[in-house]
A and B are shown apart, each in its own frame.
Chain A
């Protein structure tokens, strides 16, 4: 009798195991219509204003949960989100935005001009990294469907700069963590569950003015290890991955279940020199250092598909891009110039960067500089330490991949290179004048010309080295339709759908 009891239990166990397999078979990506995104950058917080608000992870989430006044489409042209119309006054010191009617938050309340104005005040009060674009500006609600932005000077780039500004309901305090655990927004999705730095699960917002998205769920999982992300993509555990290095792109391109695309982005590699230290004060020294590195070969070898040698301080798809005279590779001339300028070869220069994915590039740069006798200490720092040292100017050469979600040079050239910005120790009043004129002129052609002249000063004075324009490589599963890669690394899932196959 004991034996038959055991036998019965064994059979029951097998049957139960079989049943549970059937319901979980297929993994997380399969509940029909749900997609999983494997992200590189963690989403620490869902607050679009404040210290983390400008970060890539938060901006990615904010695009799905909240709405902004205007935002660039995948072609770089500004499209209205909450605003249907936007007009400057005669000298571009005031911008009037007409709001779309019938937009509601996910809790059913209507979005009013008051919410927009209150959000802007909160955005400015919390002093995030993007508020430097709007120092002293105010936004007021002149009627239920209109807001007016008053600038302190002529500013033609206001709509572009607002690409990073998102609207939340009025009355949310500066530290309201409970609200941001399950935030209320007017974007295409609402938050189903959120574990900071781990997973964000989004479900369609039935109240969305553009129609609820067709996917049933979007899960953004953090997978910091590259190998883990790519394996997840190949096994079907993740549906979309982007920011893939060239070395791994070949294997993905050979996979018939995946679509692989590279898009030109607004991101550029930027290697500033700290012009405030005695060793790098002289522009001749900085130009010589730039000449000493064979960036053409480095870019061709390390980034054959996703990189191209830069010919301006901003990327080719940015407003304000003007081609500059390329800096050739000439190590002998560089060494001669350094010796003539009295450069101290025994002093080590500190090169800092913050992400393991840029390690090889920087090691190659250090190697080229070593060939002419310049010693460089390569310092890979943790993101938080890197940012702290960056702002304190505690470096000699700084490597960053700078992206520009506004597609407008006012956000990079205009924000980071004036004397008042104090970001790289370089101060040139003539440059300041050009940048402020370029930022305030209403004529786009005029602005491009002025940014071109500013770029020429930056380029020839070698405020930094500008080695490479970045293309983002996206790879996604063929079951995902209606997905277009975004040039900013912030793709949108509102129009995506999953097909049966």
Chain B
């Protein structure tokens, strides 16, 4: 009889609602990726084209080209289209920046942690110096100094994003180089590159993925911030930050111009944050089990 009861408890545990709750961030992010990736194929939008007779229409109104489900902005451009194209911009810039920061950060961190000595000293102090700069200020300076383009924004954002990756991987490399199998490999004469690639790097993947998710959220937010300030991306690129800035003086009358992209941005950031937390809890900061 106790065995039957136990079986029942196990079944209940496997289909507990909390597991589905934990999957929500994946669904939401998948939705954003889908909208950002495929949305522009179904929705037409040209940021230069204005349609003045349709300006400042509320969500759901009829306009000359159909229905504006989320309203129009001060120049008659569709807010839904701006959100869809903005999703693509945010995701593309987020992914590119995180990839660049990841590659650079992991390389620097592993090399610094494994080789130690003067190389480690230089790299570690370099990281500390960069940490002392307020990241957003450095980003604004870089983005504002050159001609606006997507490459510039990715560069400006990666300039400070790689640091956390470097620190985490350096910590892991430092602890791993004393391990038995790494010692054995060294004694056996395995080349350094192979030791790094086969014995150190695989252990960094877990924490780096967790960190990458959190950095992605910060990068998307920073990019929106730069576009809000009017630097970074050229006028022809669509971004949530730009749309929010355009609605700044209409908060009382045409709230949908700023509020709706703002909500889209917040929901994305919150879900990425939750996902990042879950991954960090799972893979920790380099604990080996």
Contact = CB atoms under 8 A, between A and B. Distances in A.
Most-contacted residue by chain B among A227, A363, A366, A370 (CB, 10 A): A363
A241 B4 CA distance: 79
A247 B55 CA distance: 11
Interface in B105-164: none
B50 A297 contact: no
B282 interface: no
A301 B72 CA distance: 14
B249 A226 contact: yes
B53 A360 contact: no
B23 interface: no
Which of B49, B52, B250: most chain A Cβ within 10 A? B52
Given A360-B74, A378-B235, A298 B249 contact: no
B158 to A, nearest CB: 27
B253 interface: yes
Contacts of B34: none
Interface string A357-382: 00010011011001100000010100
A363 B249 contact: no
A370 B55 contact: no
A254 to B, nearest CB: 11
9 cross-chain pairs, A with B, having the tightest CB-CB distances, nearest first: A301-B52, A367-B50, A364-B50, A226-B249, A367-B49, A370-B48, A227-B249, A367-B48, A360-B74
A139 B283 CA distance: 84
A366 B50 CA distance: 9
A248 interface: yes
A366 B46 CA distance: 12
Nearest to B248: A227
A248 B251 CA distance: 11
Contacts of B52: 297-298, 301-302, 364
Contacts of A430: none
Interface in B47-69: 48-50, 52-53, 55-56
Q: Most chain-A CB neighbours within 10 Å: which of B48, B74, B248? A: B48
Nearest to A301: B52
Contacts of B248: 227
B35 interface: no
Contacts of A250: 253
Give chain A's interface residue range (CB within 8 Å of chain B): 20 to 34
B53 A297 contact: yes
**What is the interface of chain B mostly: helix, strand, loop, or mixed?**
loop
B21 to A, nearest CB: 39
A366 B249 contact: no
Nearest to A226: B249
Contacts of A371: 49
Interface string B18-49: 00000000000000000000000000000011
Contacts of A248: 249, 253
Given A226-B249, A247-B250, A251-B253, A370 B75 contact: no
B58 to A, nearest CB: 14
Nearest to A376: B48
A363 B75 contact: yes
B250 A360 contact: no
Given A247-B56, A247-B250, 13 more contacts: A227-B248, A227-B251, A247-B253, A250-B253, A251-B252, A251-B253, A301-B53, A301-B55, A302-B52, A364-B52, A367-B48, A367-B75, A370-B48
Interface in A212-263: 226-227, 245, 247-248, 250-251
B231 to A, nearest CB: 11
Contacts of A366: 48
A241 to B, nearest CB: 14
A382 to B, nearest CB: 11
Contacts of B250: 247
Nearest to A300: B52
Given A227-B248, A247-B56, A363-B75, A370 B49 contact: yes
Contacts of A370: 48-49
Contacts of A378: 235
A376 to B, nearest CB: 9
Nearest to B254: A247
Contacts of B48: 363, 366-367, 370
A125 B131 CA distance: 52
Nearest to A375: B48
Contacts of A364: 50, 52, 75
A258 B1 CA distance: 82
A57 B152 CA distance: 36
Which of A250, A251, A360, A380 has the most B CB atoms < 10 Å from its CB?
A360
B248 to A, nearest CB: 7
Contacts of B253: 247-248, 250-251
Nearest to B230: A380
A45 B74 CA distance: 35
Nearest to B74: A360
Interface in A327-377: 360, 363-364, 366-367, 370-371
B50 A247 contact: no
A25 B74 CA distance: 38
A363 B73 CA distance: 13
A345 to B, nearest CB: 15
Contacts of B56: 247
A301 B55 CA distance: 8
A371 B50 CA distance: 10
Interface in B233-289: 235, 248-253
Contacts of B53: 297, 301
B245 to A, nearest CB: 10
Nearest to A369: B48
Contacts of B55: 301
A336 B48 CA distance: 23
Chain A CB count within 10 A is highest, among B53, B74, B230, for B74
Contacts of B252: 251
A113 B49 CA distance: 59
A92 to B, nearest CB: 47
A282 B48 CA distance: 27
Contacts of B74: 247, 360
A297 B50 CA distance: 12
